[in-house]
Amino acid sequence: DQQVKQNSPSLSVQEGRISILNCDYTNSMFDYFLWYKKYPAEGPTFLISISSIKDKNEDGRFTVFLNKSAKHLSLHIVPSQPGDSAVYFCAPKEGSTLGRLYFGRGTQLTVWP
Amino acid sequence: KAGVTQTPRYLIKTRGQQVTLSCSPISGHRSVSWYQQTPGQGLQFLFEYFSETQRNKGNFPGRFSGRQFSNSRSEMNVSTLELGDSALYLCASSQQGASYEQYFGPGTRLTVT
Protein backbone atom coordinates (compact mmCIF):
# COMPACT_ATOMS: atom_id res chain seq x y z
CA ASP A 1 0.00 0.00 0.00
CA GLN A 2 1.29 3.39 -0.90
CA GLN A 3 0.55 5.71 1.95
CA VAL A 4 2.76 8.43 0.51
CA LYS A 5 2.53 9.54 -3.09
CA GLN A 6 4.74 11.85 -5.06
CA ASN A 7 2.88 11.91 -8.32
CA SER A 8 5.47 13.78 -10.35
CA PRO A 9 8.45 11.53 -11.07
CA SER A 10 10.37 14.45 -12.50
CA LEU A 11 10.44 18.24 -12.53
CA SER A 12 12.60 20.53 -14.64
CA VAL A 13 13.12 24.15 -13.60
CA GLN A 14 15.31 26.98 -14.79
CA GLU A 15 17.94 28.32 -12.42
CA GLY A 16 16.63 31.20 -10.31
CA ARG A 17 12.99 30.11 -10.59
CA ILE A 18 10.86 28.41 -7.97
CA SER A 19 10.73 24.63 -7.68
CA ILE A 20 7.58 23.16 -6.14
CA LEU A 21 7.58 19.51 -5.19
CA ASN A 22 4.35 17.92 -4.04
CA CYS A 23 3.46 15.05 -1.77
CA ASP A 24 0.10 13.49 -0.86
CA TYR A 25 -0.57 11.03 1.92
CA THR A 26 -3.43 8.89 3.14
CA ASN A 27 -2.48 8.01 6.72
CA SER A 28 -4.18 10.32 9.24
CA MET A 29 -1.73 9.20 11.91
CA PHE A 30 1.19 10.94 10.26
CA ASP A 31 2.17 13.84 12.49
CA TYR A 32 5.69 14.72 11.46
CA PHE A 33 6.84 15.25 7.90
CA LEU A 34 10.38 15.28 6.57
CA TRP A 35 11.94 16.05 3.22
CA TYR A 36 15.13 14.44 2.05
CA LYS A 37 17.35 15.04 -0.94
CA LYS A 38 19.28 12.18 -2.49
CA TYR A 39 22.08 11.87 -4.99
CA PRO A 40 22.76 8.52 -6.70
CA ALA A 41 24.71 5.98 -4.63
CA GLU A 42 24.49 8.18 -1.52
CA GLY A 43 22.27 8.18 1.52
CA PRO A 44 19.39 10.68 1.73
CA THR A 45 20.27 14.06 3.21
CA PHE A 46 17.79 15.67 5.59
CA LEU A 47 16.49 19.00 4.30
CA ILE A 48 13.60 20.30 6.33
CA SER A 49 10.72 19.05 8.44
CA ILE A 50 7.36 20.19 9.70
CA SER A 51 5.18 19.15 12.57
CA SER A 52 1.47 18.58 12.06
CA ILE A 53 0.69 21.45 14.39
CA LYS A 54 2.17 23.90 11.90
CA ASP A 55 1.27 24.77 8.34
CA LYS A 56 4.56 26.29 7.25
CA ASN A 57 8.24 25.97 8.04
CA GLU A 58 11.06 27.92 6.43
CA ASP A 59 14.78 27.32 6.32
CA GLY A 60 16.71 29.55 3.97
CA ARG A 61 15.70 28.80 0.39
CA PHE A 62 13.49 25.90 1.49
CA THR A 63 9.90 26.21 2.68
CA VAL A 64 7.54 23.37 3.43
CA PHE A 65 3.78 23.86 3.49
CA LEU A 66 1.37 21.42 5.11
CA ASN A 67 -2.36 21.20 4.43
CA LYS A 68 -3.63 18.58 6.86
CA SER A 69 -7.23 18.68 5.72
CA ALA A 70 -6.13 17.89 2.18
CA LYS A 71 -3.38 15.52 3.36
CA HIS A 72 -0.98 17.39 1.14
CA LEU A 73 2.41 18.96 1.59
CA SER A 74 4.75 20.77 -0.71
CA LEU A 75 8.38 21.81 -0.72
CA HIS A 76 9.28 25.15 -2.29
CA ILE A 77 12.83 25.95 -3.29
CA VAL A 78 13.51 29.60 -4.12
CA PRO A 79 15.66 30.44 -5.97
CA SER A 80 16.51 27.10 -7.50
CA GLN A 81 20.16 26.36 -8.17
CA PRO A 82 21.83 23.73 -10.37
CA GLY A 83 23.21 22.08 -7.21
CA ASP A 84 19.64 21.38 -6.14
CA SER A 85 19.36 18.80 -8.91
CA ALA A 86 18.67 15.52 -7.08
CA VAL A 87 15.83 13.20 -6.12
CA TYR A 88 13.60 14.61 -3.40
CA PHE A 89 11.70 12.34 -1.04
CA CYS A 90 8.77 13.12 1.17
CA ALA A 91 8.94 10.98 4.33
CA PRO A 92 6.29 11.30 7.02
CA LYS A 93 6.21 9.42 10.28
CA GLU A 94 3.66 8.48 12.89
CA GLY A 95 4.47 9.62 16.39
CA SER A 96 3.48 6.27 17.76
CA THR A 97 5.92 4.34 15.61
CA LEU A 98 8.83 6.60 16.40
CA GLY A 99 11.63 5.87 13.99
CA ARG A 100 9.80 4.50 11.00
CA LEU A 101 9.71 6.77 7.96
CA TYR A 102 7.30 6.14 5.11
CA PHE A 103 8.94 7.22 1.88
CA GLY A 104 7.32 8.37 -1.31
CA ARG A 105 8.84 7.25 -4.62
CA GLY A 106 10.62 10.55 -5.05
CA THR A 107 10.72 13.38 -7.58
CA GLN A 108 13.79 13.93 -9.74
CA LEU A 109 14.44 17.69 -9.82
CA THR A 110 16.62 19.05 -12.59
CA VAL A 111 17.65 22.70 -12.42
CA TRP A 112 19.12 23.96 -15.69
CA PRO A 113 21.15 27.16 -16.18
CA LYS B 1 30.46 15.46 14.74
CA ALA B 2 31.06 12.46 12.53
CA GLY B 3 28.10 11.28 10.49
CA VAL B 4 26.58 7.85 10.23
CA THR B 5 29.09 5.34 8.92
CA GLN B 6 28.32 2.07 7.20
CA THR B 7 30.64 -0.77 6.32
CA PRO B 8 31.33 -2.21 3.90
CA ARG B 9 30.32 0.23 1.18
CA TYR B 10 30.14 -2.41 -1.53
CA LEU B 11 29.63 -6.13 -1.35
CA ILE B 12 29.17 -8.92 -3.86
CA LYS B 13 27.72 -12.21 -2.67
CA THR B 14 26.41 -15.38 -4.24
CA ARG B 15 22.87 -16.72 -3.88
CA GLY B 16 22.47 -18.80 -0.75
CA GLN B 17 25.22 -17.04 1.18
CA GLN B 18 24.65 -14.78 4.14
CA VAL B 19 25.84 -11.25 4.75
CA THR B 20 26.32 -8.91 7.71
CA LEU B 21 26.23 -5.15 7.34
CA SER B 22 27.39 -2.72 9.98
CA CYS B 23 26.24 0.75 11.00
CA SER B 24 27.75 3.21 13.48
CA PRO B 25 25.32 6.01 14.41
CA ILE B 26 26.11 9.63 15.11
CA SER B 27 27.57 10.04 18.57
CA GLY B 28 24.77 10.46 21.08
CA HIS B 29 22.11 8.98 18.84
CA ARG B 30 20.48 5.94 20.36
CA SER B 31 18.00 4.95 17.66
CA VAL B 32 19.08 3.14 14.51
CA SER B 33 16.82 2.27 11.60
CA TRP B 34 17.52 0.27 8.47
CA TYR B 35 16.04 0.74 5.02
CA GLN B 36 16.32 -1.07 1.72
CA GLN B 37 16.28 0.83 -1.55
CA THR B 38 15.57 -0.93 -4.83
CA PRO B 39 14.48 0.51 -8.19
CA GLY B 40 11.24 -1.44 -8.07
CA GLN B 41 10.13 -0.86 -4.48
CA GLY B 42 11.80 2.41 -3.55
CA LEU B 43 12.87 3.00 0.04
CA GLN B 44 11.38 0.46 2.41
CA PHE B 45 11.69 0.23 6.16
CA LEU B 46 13.37 -2.88 7.53
CA PHE B 47 13.56 -2.37 11.29
CA GLU B 48 14.40 0.04 14.09
CA TYR B 49 16.45 -0.48 17.21
CA PHE B 50 16.66 1.53 20.39
CA SER B 51 18.61 0.57 23.50
CA GLU B 52 19.44 -2.83 22.01
CA THR B 53 15.75 -3.62 21.48
CA GLN B 54 13.94 -3.95 18.19
CA ARG B 55 11.02 -1.53 18.40
CA ASN B 56 9.56 -1.85 14.97
CA LYS B 57 9.84 -4.16 12.00
CA GLY B 58 8.85 -3.75 8.37
CA ASN B 59 7.31 -6.31 6.09
CA PHE B 60 10.37 -8.40 5.27
CA PRO B 61 10.92 -12.15 5.62
CA GLY B 62 12.66 -13.65 8.61
CA ARG B 63 15.88 -13.95 6.60
CA PHE B 64 16.40 -10.30 7.46
CA SER B 65 17.47 -9.73 11.04
CA GLY B 66 19.36 -7.20 13.03
CA ARG B 67 20.70 -6.26 16.40
CA GLN B 68 22.02 -3.30 18.31
CA PHE B 69 24.89 -3.23 20.73
CA SER B 70 25.27 -1.32 23.97
CA ASN B 71 27.29 1.40 22.19
CA SER B 72 24.33 1.89 19.78
CA ARG B 73 26.17 0.38 16.84
CA SER B 74 23.95 -1.89 14.80
CA GLU B 75 24.30 -4.79 12.43
CA MET B 76 21.86 -6.34 10.03
CA ASN B 77 22.10 -9.83 8.65
CA VAL B 78 20.55 -11.38 5.59
CA SER B 79 20.68 -15.16 5.36
CA THR B 80 20.14 -17.38 2.33
CA LEU B 81 20.61 -14.51 -0.09
CA GLU B 82 18.36 -14.23 -3.13
CA LEU B 83 18.92 -12.26 -6.32
CA GLY B 84 16.13 -9.89 -5.24
CA ASP B 85 18.10 -8.88 -2.17
CA SER B 86 20.42 -6.84 -4.38
CA ALA B 87 19.87 -3.31 -3.16
CA LEU B 88 21.27 -0.29 -1.40
CA TYR B 89 20.95 -0.82 2.35
CA LEU B 90 20.73 2.38 4.31
CA CYS B 91 21.13 2.97 7.99
CA ALA B 92 19.79 6.04 9.75
CA SER B 93 20.27 7.29 13.28
CA SER B 94 18.30 9.70 15.41
CA GLN B 95 17.95 10.86 18.96
CA GLN B 96 15.15 9.44 20.99
CA GLY B 97 11.71 10.76 20.23
CA ALA B 98 9.26 10.90 17.37
CA SER B 99 10.04 14.47 16.39
CA TYR B 100 13.72 13.98 15.83
CA GLU B 101 15.07 13.83 12.31
CA GLN B 102 16.87 10.79 11.02
CA TYR B 103 20.31 11.11 9.48
CA PHE B 104 21.39 8.58 6.93
CA GLY B 105 24.68 6.93 6.20
CA PRO B 106 26.05 6.47 2.68
CA GLY B 107 24.66 2.96 2.41
CA THR B 108 26.01 -0.45 1.53
CA ARG B 109 25.51 -1.56 -2.05
CA LEU B 110 24.85 -5.31 -2.01
CA THR B 111 24.94 -7.27 -5.24
CA VAL B 112 23.79 -10.88 -5.22
CA THR B 113 24.86 -13.01 -8.19
- Give B73-93 pLDDT, tens digit per residue: 999 999 999 999 999 999 999
Residue of B nearest to A34 (CA): B101
CB-based contact B98 A89, cutoff 8 Å: no
Alpha helices in B36-104 (DSSP H): none
Whether B98 and A98 lie within 8 Å, measured CB to CB: yes
Q: How far is B75 from chain A (nearest CA, A)?
A: 17
Query: For residue B46, what pLDDT is reported?
Result: 96
User: Which residues of chain A are under the pLDDT cut of 70?
Assistant: 1, 96-98
Q: What per-residue confidence (pLDDT) applies to B1?
A: 66
Question: Is 60 exceeded by the pLDDT of residue B98?
Answer: no
Q: Is the CB of A43 less than 8 angstroms away from the CB of B58? A: no
Measured CA distances, B94 to A6, A7, A67, B4, B112 (Å) = 25, 28, 26, 10, 30
**Which pLDDT does position A18 carry in this prediction?**
98
